[in-house]
Amino acid sequence: MTKSLFPILAAALLLSPSAHADSLPMPYDAPPSYKAECGSCHMAFQPGLLLAGDWRLVMAQLDKHYGDNAALDEKTRREIEDFLVRNAGTRSRYAGAGDPPRLTGTDRFRRKHDKLSAAVWRDQRVGTAANCVACHPGAEQGRYSERDLTVPGYAGHRGEHGHERRRHGHDDD
């Protein structure tokens, strides 16, 4: 019994960290207002990508939203804020977002993207780091895995990066 179960458990332990890192689905309790109000100018970012305090900061200054006006009526604002805070990231690797908070400023985002050259970020098809779908076509469905990458102007990227990743071994998510 123990003998036959062991390999299965070992495989599950090995696989779970990367499965968690690659896949960040939108929580089921997302109110329809979230996609409608926060997914029109950019994708509706998964709440797990920022800490609760940072989401509160975003939601407290919607009238001056990164140079735009994204103000909402108080009921909707509150509904969205509650959802974001409830599902916010909880680990210290999501710190560093700054003010105004940017999920592209967090320690984890920087670590995951620091191998990309400046030329990639300047590519017109990318435009801004917040344009997740430019490189992660499945971003809105929460798919950020290496298999689902199409980095503009970087045909050889996939294999190269895969190699790099194997060499360094797996990092914590």
- Give the nearest distance from C-beta 5 to ligand HEC in angstroms: 28
Neighbour-count burial of 14, counting CB atoms closer than 10 A to its CB (0-12 exposed, 13-18 middle, 19+ buried):
exposed
- The amino acid at 53: G
Residue 85 or 130: the one with the smaller Cβ distance to ligand HEC is: 130
- Give the nearest distance from C-beta 7 to ligand HEC in angstroms: 25
- Helix or strand holding residue 82 (H, E): helix 74-86
Strands (E), the chain: none
| Cα 167 from Cα 162, distance rounded (Å) | 9
| Cα 110 from Cα 16, distance rounded (Å) | 22
- Give the nearest distance from C-beta 83 to ligand HEC in angstroms: 10
Neighbour-count burial of 62, counting CB atoms closer than 10 A to its CB (0-12 exposed, 13-18 middle, 19+ buried):
middle
For binding to ligand HEC (CB under 6 A), which residues are involved?
Answer: 21-22, 37-38, 40-42, 45, 49, 58, 62, 65-66, 68, 70, 80, 102-104, 112-113, 116, 120, 126, 128-132, 134-136, 144-146, 149, 151, 161, 165
- Give the nearest distance from C-beta 2 to ligand HEC in angstroms: 33
Residue 6 or 66: the one with the smaller Cβ distance to ligand HEC is: 66
Residue 6 or 14: the one with the smaller Cβ distance to ligand HEC is: 14
What would the two tokens of residue 44 be? 């509706």
Residue 6 or 115: the one with the smaller Cβ distance to ligand HEC is: 115
